[in-house]
Structure 1
Amino acid sequence: MQGDKTANWGAKRDTHGNQISWFGYKAHVAVDCHSELPIAIMVTPANTHDAKMAIPLIELVNKALEDSKKPKYYTMDMGYDSKDIYSVVMNDFNAQAIIPINSRGSKDHPEGCDFDGTPICSMGQRMVFWGSDAKAGTNKYRCPHVMGKCDCPYGSAWCSPSSY
């Protein structure tokens, strides 16, 4: 009997931090959030990192759907946390990637953000979440000084003149 030449060892940690290993393959699946049905599947050797498959999987999703049905949001687990993925989703697919920040093995938080992805103002204070803009598909934040969360020596002089 011939061995499978493409299968390989894969490993990951479970939610309790325990190492799980297996020999074979990994399925990368894009699922429609409304129907909960798969809309794109790619199978790779088990040692293929998730982030490596994100863009090919997103391309497959976009080829399979009509323009009016293409996603505005891509929700992924933290294995996909990569600046390249955020950039490609935004610039090439005109959508927003929603991915938890993966701090494992990382010494720095995303540029301009703190440990949980909250933007930081120019004085180093956490911005205050101020809802979402459904039309733009973005979250909104306000100056922590204006919101009474900190005392800034510059007042609101560095803040946007927005009247929100």
Structure 2
Amino acid sequence: MVLSQLDFSNVVLSLSRSEYKIGPKGYDPLPLLYALVAMQLEKIPNIAKLVARLKSDPVFRYNCGFSVFGPTPSASTFSRFLNLISKSEALEEDFKQLILKAKDLNIIDSTNIAIDSTKLNAFEKPKPKSKLKDDGKSPNCGKKKDTDGNDIKWFGWKLHIIADCKSELPLAIEITPASVNDSILAIPLLKTVIILKFKCPHVLRKVDCPHGSSWCSNSNYGYCLKINYKKNNRYFSFPIRSSDEWQEIYNLRTSIERCNSRLKDYLNTDNQSSAGIKKAKTFALLNCITFVAGTISVNVTKSLPKVA
């Protein structure tokens, strides 16, 4: 059911270009993609285990789209295929199309979103600080505090996620070295400047001010104070901090934590089995695609009419 919700047309189209048709014909890209998605769904730890599962389990092999009696791809085949799909943005485009599909089915609301990051351990071995590369593409050391205030240190990456508060599904992701601050990725997402206007309570007839509206400006809004939300968006929030609407939205903040937890505990996001930032993002995208496709599958199944 999960695989039936997937559409990898952008990846297939990108691999149909002439530069990718050198050498033997090889395997069709769709079964390879389905196998990689099934790897995340079944929490298979690495490519070698995936190859072994395809060889030993004919049902698993058939569900992925391979011939039951035919040969199965080797670890080298998967490695070369991962190199190809990691070089283009086609997989991310297919992820965006899957998000739009979930939105059309009213699974994703996107009225309220939450932004957070989570740690990912790198496949590469840790290095001394003196030998780390600060090029934005190599893994490095990260540090954060847990809920008890204890320091957590790791070597690897940081996965930045935007999640829908209603469905708790990932909407967009980005991978950076572990030392990159969350705000560097979060601020560019705020593309519009929100202006707050505090209106005169006397003009709004909420209080009977002895000075009337004389202390306020002649604006139609009464006293009008404009604040650039970007300059201090922690201090000046929208809606107004401590209002009922603000508290209701604030309570939704934990949706991103549940999204992170499901990607790590129920899928394979926390298990990086290839080196490099591009492959790290590819595996993260595959897990997000699996997560969204699984949610769509469950909702579609529930909407089917029951047979008496």
Q: Shorter-chain TM-score: what band?
A: 0.3 to 0.5
Q: Which has the higher helix share?
A: 2
User: What is the TM-score with the length of structure 1 in the denominator?
Assistant: 0.37
Larger Rg: 2
- Higher RCO by CA contacts (8 Å cutoff, separation 6 or greater): 2
Q: Which has a greater percent of strand?
A: 1
